[in-house]
Amino acid sequence: MRLRKPLRYLSLFLLVVALAPKCWLATNAQENPDLMPRLGETKAEFEARARGLPRPTPTEPLSVTLPADSQGHFFRRVSRQRNTSANDD
């Protein structure tokens, strides 16, 4: 019968969350999603969007070139370090 008490608290918690007013929940914390910067958006783009201005023209090229090494790999291999301070007794 040890399971009854935690199950009762869990069901009470779920009931409170299900019936909670919208102002309690984090989903209502952000009233205007346009005031949040978007992923990959620059500061100038965000400020222009927040003020209702047109998007500024980019000053740098939009394409990025990643050169490959002699083996055709685009990224360098990173060597892993081991924790040698741990004792294996």
State pLDDT tens for residues 57-74. 877 767 777 788 888 877
Residue range 30-45: mean pLDDT, rounded: 78
Q: What is the model's pLDDT at position 75?
A: 72
8 Å CB contact between 50 and 35? yes
Q: What is the pTM for the complete model shown?
A: 0.35
Percent of the chain residues past pLDDT 70, beyond the cut: 66
8 Å CB contact between 55 and 48? yes
Query: Would you kindly state where each structural domain of the chain is located, as residue ranges?
Result: 8-51
CA torsion, points 3, 8, 14, 15, in degrees to nearest 10? 160
**Res 15 pLDDT > 70:** yes
**Res 41 pLDDT > 70:** yes
Three-class DSSP category at 4: helix
Average pLDDT of the chain is: 76
Which pLDDT band, with edges at 50, 70 and 90, does 88 fall under? Answer: low
